[in-house]
Structure formats: C-alpha cells, structure tokens
Amino acid sequence: MNAARLLFTKPWIWSFAATMIVWIVTVLFTGGASSLGLSQAALTFAAFSVIVGIGQMFVITLGPGNIDLSVPATMTLSGTLALKLMDVQDGMILVGLLTSILLGFAIGIGNYALIKLLRIPPIIATLSISFIVQSTAIWANRGLRIKPPEVLASFTTSSLFGIPNIAIVALILSVIAWVLLKKTIYGRWISAIGQSTFAARMTGIPVDGTRLVTYILCAVLASICGYLLASFSGGAALNMGSEYLLMSIAVVVIGGTAVAGGNSNIPGIWGASLFMFLVVSMLNTYGFGAGFRLILTGLIIIAVILVAGGRQSNR
C-alpha cells in the first residue's frame, strides 16, 4: 500500500498512465489487430522526441527563461550535412556521426555566446541562431535528397528482439543523461542554478561554464537526432525538424520537469513522448488536421502546468 502511494507521488507516473489509457483505447478501436505494430511505431517515433527532449530538459532545468529554439534547425542542418558527407558510403558512417556531434558543439557555443556576450534572453539568442542554421541548411541542401548509407538506413529501421534500434539508442542516451543528472557534480550544479542563480554563484558554482556545457549538450543531442532521423527517413528534408520545436518542449513539461527550473525528470520524457505519439496517431486515424493537433498539444501543456502549480501550492 505504501509502495503504491509512493509510486503515485512520482510526477512521471501520470504521463505513463495517460499513455496506457490512450494505447488501450486505440487498440480497442482497431480490434487489437495492430497492437504490436502500434507499440513498435510508438517506441520508434517517441525515441526521436526523447532524444531532443532530454537536451531541452537540461536547458529548462537551468531556470526560468532558459529554452533552446534552435533545435529544429540544428536537426535539419545536421541531417543534411551528414548525408552529404557520407555520400551513401558505409565507410563514412562514423565520420558523418562525428560531424553531427561537432556541429552540435559549434551551435551550442554560438547559442551561449549570444546569451552571454550580448546579454540577450535565451529565447531571442537561440531563435537568432536558428535562422542562421536553417539558412545554412537551405544553402547546403539545394533541393537535393541524398540517401543514407545502406547499413545506417538498415540499422535505424530495424529492431532487436522486437525493440526498434532507435528506441535502444534513445534508452542508452537516457541512461547517460540520468547518470549525469543524479551521479555527477554537473547534475547538482544545474539543479542548483535552476533553483537560484544568485545562490549558486555565492557557493562558488561556475554558473557560466555550466550553462555553456548545457547549451552544447542540448545542441549535440539535437544534432544526433537529426542524423538518425534523416537516416531513418531515407533523406534529409528542410522541414524535418519543424515539429520538434513544440514537441521537445511539450514532452519535458508533460513529463514532469519543473518549468521554473531546478528539477528534471527523464522517465517522464519517455511517458510524455509515447503519450504524444499515440494522441497524434489517434487524431490522424479519425481525420483531425494539424491545426487541431497543435491546439490540443497546447491545451495539454497548459493543463499540466496548472496541475503542477496547484500541487506546489498545496505543498
């Protein structure tokens, strides 16, 4: 009894509960015939949201106002440059991955350079960088759709013991992120900064260095996600990252991470990502358009923030 009560105090449990309800409803309406396929699809597409969501979660944990709007453009440029560099050659797969990671480093540094040197809000700085990055992607793409190397395409679309490889990659990255947050001094630093930047400075925490690393980490994860998504999709498109702007924020908020910063939640990102995919899938099945899906996503985020705010007031 106590164990059950303790479980329901965890903020991430609600996103998984909502996921289970939507999954059951969807399976019932389809007669149960598509349950396995639906589960595999949910794990695959949710994995992309998890990867970018983890990066966004680190940034949001830094406190109010911290958010990275360059995620979609970073994904697009990463996928475009990696595929052009690999040029359908299996021997260039690791080179393409390394290029994506280095690109993430550069974009993350650019984001924080604008924030720190020009003293402008993160939302403005990262939006400005996103315009530059997206324009570079347009110039690099030039309407071409280069295919990924065969081995990489096969890896991203295959499964191991019924679990999609993309989901396994996302799980590995989630474990690494959890270790960073819970078992390292870096994790304690970003939580402290999110709770009070002034107090963090007074205790000797390197606030600027920690924030720089966090924005780099977010950009690197977005780059890796773009690399994988382009390979999974069979090519890089200029709008491939557009839906992940709202999604990367939504899964963090719905997953139980504190919007005010200082408290993060990795398991909740998985629950929220699966929930969002299943909701979108159900709405697509019944013919609802993109506009309605965006409205619903916004309403869900508002509801979660209201509930979370009420919970904190009660405490």
Q: To which residue do tokens 């040029």 refer?
A: 87
Please report, in tens digits, the pLDDT of each residue of the chain (315 residues total): 555 555 455 655 666 677 777 777 777 666 555 667 777 888 888 899 999 999 999 999 998 888 999 999 999 999 999 998 888 888 889 999 999 999 999 999 999 999 988 888 999 999 999 999 989 888 877 756 778 889 999 999 998 888 899 999 999 999 999 999 888 999 899 999 988 888 989 888 999 999 999 999 999 999 999 999 999 988 878 888 888 888 888 888 888 777 767 677 888 888 888 888 887 777 776 666 667 777 776 777 677 666 654 444 444
3-class secondary structure per residue, 80-149: HHHHHHHCCCHHHHHHHHHHHHHHHHHHHHHHHHHHHHCCCCHHHHHHHHHHHHHHHHHHHHCCCCCCCC
Q: What is the SS3 string spanning 230-263?
A: HHHHCCCCCCCCCCHHHHHHHHHHHCCCCCCCCC
Q: Which residues contact 66 (CB under 8 A, 6 or more apart)?
A: 59, 60, 122, 211, 261
pLDDT at 311 (0 to 100): 47
Burial label, 73 (beta-carbon count in 10 A; 0-12, 13-18, 19+): buried
- Torsion sign over Cα 142, 144, 148, 154: positive
CA distance 286 to 183: 45
Q: How far apart are CA 232 and CA 226, in angstroms?
A: 10
Task: Identify the pLDDT of residue 305.
Answer: 62
Task: State how far the Cα of 279 lies from the Cα of 297, in Å rounded to an integer.
Answer: 9
> In the prediction, which pLDDT does 312 show?
46
The values of phi and psi at residue 160, to 5°, are -125, 115
The yes/no answer on whether domain 37-304 falls in CATH 1.10.20 is no
Give the contacts of 284 (CB within 8 A, at least 6 positions apart): none
Q: Scan for tokens 């990489």, then name that residue.
A: 152
Residue of 59, 36, 4, 13 lying closest to 275 (CA atoms):
13
> 220 CB contacts (<8 Å, ≥6 apart)?
55, 101, 104, 105, 108
Determine how many CB atoms are found less than 10 A away from the CB of residue 89.
13
Query: What is the reported pLDDT for 238?
Result: 81
Give the dihedral sign, CA 190/196/197/202. negative
**This prediction's pTM:** 0.87
Question: Domain locations in the chain?
Answer: 37-304
Number of Cβ atoms within 10 Å of the Cβ of 269: 31
Residue 4's Cβ-side half-sphere holds a number of Cα atoms within 13 Å equal to 1
Mapped onto helix, strand or coil, the DSSP state of residue 69 is coil
Instruction: Please tell me the predicted confidence (pLDDT) of residue 5.
Output: 56
Strand partners, 164: 159
